[in-house]
């Protein structure tokens, strides 16, 4: 096959999932905030489907990993559930079955020749730490997270070389404290800003613990995975540009800068200070953030963000919100994924690549998630028994061609991971939109490779497409 877009031979071709979205709740010692939310409000989830079974990875991990190998993946990111691994969060004792399970999963990935990238937090805070301390509002929980991280490094660091502190920490801020799409569904801008700070502090403290462990000495590295939504102004008008600049600072740079540069953008600090919602911090904490930056960056890219200047006075009735400084701009003629309500704009992946090159020290980075969620994919199942998801292949080709251009121009990108290997449970949306290279029949738990799975196998084999 003629390869138009060629990538390095050691490029990561992989996919990402998470513990809470794939494993099911079998033998878990504790409940996460999502487990609790489903137990108390199952009707909030699409078709009432919760995380109890998910994709049954807890029981099927050997077959599932074999399927990932069959479609050519050389690397896969998943997460260790805090609620599965730990027996006592405060004493730091571990659950015997949790340790057994994660050891078995890591060993199976390695046996199949797949590099495991292990993430420590994927929205799955233990609910008892929310009920007792207020979750990420509390710096006590920051330190309990570090204790959990240390246990992970100690138990699995001999085999896992690539670690991630958080997946999409901004989603915790927005979902739990601003826009009510994750439990506890608060609208509290002041708490949101403190949580934003505490998550940055937790990441830096976990990085410090990692670098003090044997993992770093044995060639391991640690990063963070951020969902980046590049902010574009409606026009070149100064008010539109200022609105987009605030959105860029709040949505992207408030995690990017501390993770990569060791400090928060002064512009966002000053604005939040003037607005009276700046977080509580200490010089000692800011020093920890400054001295414990990431070794590599993971970027989840799905959609851009478009901003315009405020057209109506900000409604103060809910207290402070980021929308005090911008309005959302719905660009006429934009391409949409109608199932997810997200704009399709592949060029942003190139803009991210150039931003990493020019403004973030060209840190080693990879696309840690990219994908297209589609509802009702069964209608595309053909006579041979597999789903013909050409729309997903076209989506990946467009994004990869722009990523290739960024790499050709010097951006230090080492991999591309799709969301997700096998159709997985997705929070309130449950199984509404499917993303996988491998289809899941919820009723039977049968898993079949889609056309995109056969396509990615050829991409990995040919180092491009």
The whole-angstrom separation of Cα 231 and Cα 227 is 12
Can you say whether residue 156 is alpha, beta or left, with left for phi > 0 and alpha for psi between -120 and 50 degrees? Answer: alpha
First to last CA, the chain: 8
Question: Rg of the Cα trace of the chain?
Answer: 21
Spatial separation of the C-alpha atoms in residues 453 and 344, rounded to whole Å: 21
Q: Is 460 exposed, middle or buried, given 0-12, 13-18 or 19+ CB atoms closer than 10 A?
A: buried
CA distance 154 to 87: 16
The strand pair at 221-227 and 162-167 is best described as parallel
Tokens 């919760």 belong to residue: 50
How far apart are the C-alpha atoms of 352 and 166, rounded to whole Å? 19
Cα angle 395-21-254, degrees, rounded to a multiple of 5? 70
Please confirm whether the linkage preceding 207 is cis (ω < 30° from 0). Answer: no
Instruction: Please compute, for residue 281, the number of CA atoms within 13 A of its CA located in the half-sphere on the CB side.
Output: 24
Catalytic residues: 168, 369
Could you tell me which of 154, 251, 161, 264 has the C-alpha nearest to residue 204? 264
């Amino acid at each position: 096959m003629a390869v138009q877009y060629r990538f390095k031979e050691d490029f990561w071709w992989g996919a990402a999932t998470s513990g809470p979205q794939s494993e099911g709740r079998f033998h878990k010692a504790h409940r996460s905030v999502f487990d609790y939310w489903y137990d108390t409000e199952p009707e909030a989830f699409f078709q009432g489907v919760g995380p109890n079974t998910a994709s049954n990875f807890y029981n099927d991990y050997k077959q599932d990993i074999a399927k990932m190998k069959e479609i050519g993946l050389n690397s896969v990111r998943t997460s260790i559930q805090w609620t599965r691994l730990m027996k006592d969060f405060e004493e730091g004792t571990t659950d015997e079955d949790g340790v057994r399970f994660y050891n078995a999963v890591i060993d199976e990935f390695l046996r199949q020749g797949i590099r495991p990238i292990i993430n420590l937090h994927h929205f799955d805070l233990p609910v008892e730490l929310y009920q007792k301390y207020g979750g990420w509002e509390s710096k006590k929980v920051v330190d309990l997270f570090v204790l959990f991280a240390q246990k992970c490094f100690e138990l699995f660091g001999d085999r896992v070389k690539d670690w991630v502190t958080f997946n999409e920490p901004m989603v915790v801020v927005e979902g739990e404290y601003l826009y009510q799409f994750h439990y506890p569904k608060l609208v509290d801008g002041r708490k949101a800003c403190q949580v934003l700070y505490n998550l940055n502090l937790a990441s830096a403290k976990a990085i410090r613990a990692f670098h003090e462990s044997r993992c770093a000495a044995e060639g391991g590295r640690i990063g963070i995975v951020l969902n980046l939504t590049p902010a574009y102004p409606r026009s070149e008008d100064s008010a539109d540009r200022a609105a987009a600049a605030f959105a860029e600072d709040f949505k992207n740079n408030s995690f990017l800068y501390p993770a990569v540069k060791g400090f928060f953008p002064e512009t966002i600090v000053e604005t939040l200070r003037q607005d009276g919602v700046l977080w509580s911090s200490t010089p000692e904490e800011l020093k920890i953030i400054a001295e414990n930056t990431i070794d590599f960056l993971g970027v989840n890219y799905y959609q851009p963000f478009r901003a315009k200047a405020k057209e109506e006075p900000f409604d103060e009735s809910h207290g402070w919100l980021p929308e005090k400084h911008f309005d959302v701009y719905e660009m006429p003629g934009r391409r949409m994924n109608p199932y997810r309500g997200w704009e399709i704009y592949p060029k942003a992946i190139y803009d991210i690549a150039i931003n990493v090159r020019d403004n973030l020290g060209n840190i080693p980075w990879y696309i840690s998630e990219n994908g297209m969620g589609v509802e009702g994919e069964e209608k595309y199942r053909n006579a041979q028994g597999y789903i013909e998801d050409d729309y997903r292949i076209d989506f990946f080709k467009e994004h990869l061609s722009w990523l290739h251009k960024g790499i050709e121009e010097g951006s230090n990108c080492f991999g591309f991971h799709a969301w997700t290997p096998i159709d997985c449970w997705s929070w309130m949306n449950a199984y509404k939109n499917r993303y996988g290279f491998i289809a899941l029949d919820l009723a039977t738990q049968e898993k079949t490779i889609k056309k995109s799975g056969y396509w990615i196998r050829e991409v990995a084999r040919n180092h491009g497409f």
